[in-house]
Amino acid sequence: MDISIVITTYNYAQYLNQCLDSCLNQNVSDFEHEVIVIDDGSTDGTKELLENKKDVRLRVFHLANNGIEAASNRGFTEARGKYVVRVDADDLLKPDYLRVMSASLESESNFFYPDYEIIDGNDKLQECIKLPPFTKEEVLGRGDFLATGTVYPRSLLQTIGGYNTTTRNCGLENYELILKLIQNGVEGIHVSRPLFRYRRHSSNISTKRLNDIIEYGQKLFDDYHIGKYTTNQYHPYKLVLA
């Protein structure tokens, strides 16, 4: 197995089928992939939707609700691929995602991430985000790092221990993982193509709990002795901190 796509979902039935189709219907023939769905205790018809989705590449696990960190870690544990990418259930992979990304996966000592498009709750394109080449300084100044679309070698996730589950739904679980990686000398490789669609809407955790997320960000920076928690122009939802 080359790559495992881990979809985490909690009460996102309205978007999940579209997300699943985007992950399963990739324009690639010589790259083996699986799709793992971790349903974190949804109560909105997600279970029934998944029961009707038939594909040999699809594996589904239903958990009691315990937060996105624990759900994602379960997906990482179940993954069989050499590489792992998480996709939030309201986001979409573009059809050429696997084909383009697979050509860049040349190391098990780096993580990999592409550019992306922002869409709204009705699939309307809002903006195309072109990220800069990787530097530690830029990522430390960004203030967040999207989980969707970021590829990790599974061996690297096993070594680093996955997401921190101490704070449930902290809103910065993927950024915390990235900080941990780069503080341990791991570098990212940027793929300069918009390869996924990030959905920004009023139900995003990042929208609903903004003050808590900022407070958690400063805690992370204190823990890693980085200084003041900051953001820059590449922050996923344009958070500006004074």
Q: What is the pLDDT of residue 207?
A: 57
Q: What is the pLDDT of residue 45?
A: 92
Specify if 172 maps to a domain: yes
Q: What is the pLDDT of residue 21?
A: 97
Specify if 96 maps to a domain: yes
pTM for the full predicted model: 0.94
Range(s) of the domain holding residue 30: 3-223
Q: What percent of the chain has pLDDT over 70?
A: 97
> What does the pLDDT look like over 116-145, one tens digit per residue?
999 999 999 999 999 999 999 999 999 999
Specify if 230 maps to a domain: no
Specify if 111 maps to a domain: yes
Specify if 133 maps to a domain: yes
Specify if 235 maps to a domain: no
Q: What is the pLDDT of residue 30?
A: 83
Specify if 233 maps to a domain: no
Q: What is the pLDDT of residue 202?
A: 67
Q: What is the pLDDT of residue 2?
A: 94
Q: What is the pLDDT of residue 156?
A: 95
Q: Which portions of the chain are predicted below pLDDT 70? A: 202-208, 242
Rounded CA separation 111/238 (Å):
23
Q: What is the pLDDT of residue 204?
A: 58
Cβ-in-10-Å burial (0-12, 13-18, 19+) of 178 comes to: buried
Specify if 232 maps to a domain: no
Cβ-in-10-Å burial (0-12, 13-18, 19+) of 212 comes to: middle
> What does the pLDDT look like over 170-183, one tens digit per residue?
999 999 999 999 99
Q: What is the pLDDT of residue 171?
A: 93
Provide the sign of the torsion angle of the four alpha carbons 102, 68, 206, 218, taken in this order.
Answer: negative
Q: What CATH number is associated with residue 29?
A: 3.90.550.10
Rounded CA separation 227/236 (Å):
21
Count of domains forming the chain: 1
Residue 182: CA count within 13 A, CB half-sphere: 20
User: 132 to each of 32, 64, 104, 140, how far by Cα in Å?
Assistant: 29, 39, 16, 13
